[in-house]
Amino acid sequence: MLFGKRKELDEEKIEQVMEDFTKVLSKLMEKHLPRRMRRAMPKKSKWGKINDKEKKEELTKIKKKGLNSWLSETVYEICQEVGSFANDPDALEKDLKASLKEFKKTGRFR
């Protein structure tokens, strides 16, 4: 068989990836969003703190889909939601995709 069986990631590894990814996103949001928007976003945003219920939902979603596809989907959703508020939406999307690619390289997960 050509295709290998997908590895099951433990919850600690997934939580660590989620935390690292939120740090990357927060740096990008600081760079691309206006000051007023940055001050309002951490209360309700995905890159802010996640409560336990949302974290469990995200963990089940990641286990079902896979970490790689979840990251790609999250970046796409953020581009759609935040793009209209950004100073330069095209640069935001370009930076998000570049940082996602770099994050996937350093994480070495599939």
- Please compute the mean of the pLDDT values over residues 42-69 and round it to a whole number: 74
Does the pLDDT at position 98 exceed 90?
yes
Does the pLDDT at position 47 exceed 60?
no
Does the pLDDT at position 23 exceed 70?
yes
Q: Which amino acid is at 23?
A: K
CB count within 10 Å of CB 47 equals 19
Question: What proportion of the chain, given as a percentage, has pLDDT over 70?
Answer: 81
- Which is more confidently placed, 91 or 35? 91
Q: Taking all residues of the chain, what is their mean pLDDT, rounded to a whole number?
A: 80
pLDDT for res 73: 92
- Contacts (Cβ under 8 Å, ≥6 apart) of 13: none
Distance from C-alpha of 71 to C-alpha of 10, rounded to nearest angstrom: 17
Does the pLDDT at position 54 exceed 60?
yes
pLDDT for res 97: 92
Does the pLDDT at position 60 exceed 80?
yes
